[in-house]
Amino acid sequence: MIDLSLLPDGGLGWLHASGPNPQIVLSTRIRLARNLVGHPFSLRATDADRRAVLARVTDAARASERLPRAVVLPLDELERPDRQLLHERHLVSKELAALEGDPAKPRAGAAVLVDAPAGVMVNEEDHLRLQAMLSGFDLDNAYATLESVDSELGQLLPFAFHSEFGYLTSCPTNAGTGLRASVLIHLPGLVLTKEIGKVLQGLTQVGLTFRGLYGEGSEVVGNFFQLSNQTTLGKAETELLDHLGRIVRQVIEYEEQARDVLLKTAAGTVEDKVWRAYGLLRYARTLSFEETMNLLSGVRLGVGLNLISGLSVYTLNKLLIHTQPAHLAAMEGRPLSDSEERATRASYVRQLLGAETT
Amino acid sequence: MRCDNCKERDAVINLTQVEHDTKVTLHLCEQCAQEKGIETGTTVLKSTLGTFLSAMGKGTNLPVPADTIRCPSCGATLRDFRDSGRLGCAQCYQAFAEHLRDLLRRLHGSSQHVGERYVAPGGDGEASAVSELLELRDKLRRAVESENFERAAELRDQIRVLE
């Protein structure tokens, strides 16, 4: 089993709740899609092609000033629980980790370079997916980090670029800037006041899109939404980021208004809901992952409304990550049956909440 | 419902516009919509027919069936792209440029990259930009000569970005 403590920050620096608006916005993530000239894209690449790409990217990272000590994790050499662990930490996509299909096997050369706060997925849909993930709502710093990695690697590797179409990507939906910025945001107020539908519909009308906790194709759980730009071409990077930033600020405002409405019109109900959620997490003996996510959403709302004090946002963030199946199995050092997993989860949650006085 | 513009005829079109992050919905009759340059059912039909007819007129220009166009570098055909939604390599963008341009416009609202411009390792940024500019001006001249004004307008935009 891989030792994630060897990763810079455990790959979890973004959990620290140190960035702006950490209570509503968990994290800001940006990725840039890049491909190398002279190597076929993922669809037509052979195992040898992919290994060659990985070797070039690894060499470039070693020679760079930004990623010289990045930890290289070859996914095709890792067992499934380890790959799932990396996916649960949002370091690799489900596709790259090959978590679906039977038997699910990562392709040759699939790897991730982990450094804090930037890293690179190699041989995903594109040869390189440069990624940076920061705590809170922090598009500017996330992009600044990524831009420096991009410009340095771009001088060490020949990126595929076209004067009209920009950076060339495997799928035309990513061409141009290759930039996708996502903000992971917690919107229980809008969900409880049933305003969320209107907000999400509004997003699609202004060129944004939303996804669940784990990005593309994932379901919305625990009232966490990932808001991101839909288009990547025809607008400059800063324009795309400004637009997303403006809309996210507006969504944060709507969420705050919805929370005010809840407190004014249904304070008793909300308070009851929040403390019931806390009570279950604090004392339950078995917990499913989905139930945990929903209860944590209630408690997080309680902390945001100052109904619950003495509980840090960092602890809540930590619970989101460490109560996932592969994390619990890693903690116990062995595979867990469903019932063991639920019991281990409940015990871990009790222990963390018990350590903080409310 | 009456048309918001002329307040006379019945509104048949709901136009939703987003300006400065606020949504405005206009209800328009067909005539006012056309005057505002909005494509209604009839205008869309006319323009498609127009394109079709002008293509017929050019006759000599008719290409090989599009799906069999092949990327000289990786061997992928346009049909492969249509089936998978993924391109085979960087050169596919050049090989399928005509088709991709339309698709990119539909996906992104534009096919012209205006973001960061990449300078390849060892490439002299300024020198390569100059040669690119010369090449684009040449393309523009040829587009104007062949009366391909849509393409000419795109090339003009690209030249502006570079300049």
Residue A1 predicted with pLDDT over 70: no
The pLDDT tens digits for A103-134 are: 778 999 999 999 888 999 999 999 999 999 99
Residue A53: closest CA among A66, A67, A70, A36: A36
Cβ distance of B113 and A167 shorter than 8 Å: yes
Interface membership of A145 toward B (CB under 8 Å): no
Residue B43: closest CA among B152, B51, B14: B51
Interface membership of A177 toward B (CB under 8 Å): yes
User: Residues A291, A297, A298, CA angle at the centre, nearest 5°?
Assistant: 95
pLDDT value, residue B47: 43
**A252: phi then psi, degrees, rounded to nearest 5:** -60, -40
| Buried b / exposed e along B23-45 (16+ C-beta atoms within 10 A) | eeebbbbbebbeeeeeebeeeee
Residue A189 predicted with pLDDT over 90: yes
- Could you give the CA distance from residue A185 to residue A193 in angstroms, rounded to a whole number? 17
Q: From the CA of A244, how many Å to the nearest CA of chain B?
A: 11
The pLDDT tens digits for B15-34 are: 666 656 666 677 777 777 66
Cβ distance of A246 and B21 shorter than 8 Å: yes
Cβ atoms < 10 Å from Cβ of B139:
16
Residue B90 predicted with pLDDT over 70: yes
pLDDT value, residue B138: 73
pLDDT value, residue A356: 85
Which residues of chain A lie closer than 8 angstroms to B162, CB-CB? 163
Residue A76 predicted with pLDDT over 80: yes
pLDDT value, residue B37: 60
Q: What is the mean pLDDT of chain A?
A: 92
Cβ distance of B120 and A202 shorter than 8 Å: no
Which residues of chain A lie closer than 8 angstroms to B163, CB-CB? none
Q: How confident is the model at residue A186 (pLDDT cuts 50, 70, 90)?
A: very high
Residue A159: closest CA among chain B residues belongs to which residue? Answer: B120
Residue A34 predicted with pLDDT over 70: yes
What would the mean pLDDT of B130-135 be, rounded to a whole number? 68
Which segments of chain A does DSSP mark as H helices, in order?
47-63, 80-88, 94-97, 139-156, 188-192, 196-205, 237-283, 289-304, 313-322, 325-332, 338-355
Q: Which tokens is A207 given?
A: 């060129």
pLDDT value, residue A129: 98
Cβ atoms of residues A315 and A303 within 8 Å: no
**Residues whose CB falls within 8 Å of the CB of residue A154, separated by 6 or more in sequence, listed in order:** A34, B118, B119, B121
The pLDDT tens digits for B105-120 are: 999 999 999 999 998 8
pLDDT value, residue A343: 98
Window 60-99 of A: residues touching B by CB (8 A cutoff) are none
pLDDT value, residue A21: 83
The pLDDT tens digits for A312-325 are: 999 999 999 999 99
Between A2-6, A121-125, B60-64, the lowest mean confidence (pLDDT) is in: B60-64
Residue A134: closest CA among A247, A21, A293, A277: A21
The residues pairing with B71 across neighbouring beta strands, listed in sequence order, are: none
Interface ipTM > 0.85:
yes
**B19: phi then psi, degrees, rounded to nearest 5:** -125, 130
CA A84 to the chain's CA centroid: 14
Cβ atoms of residues B107 and B92 within 8 Å: no
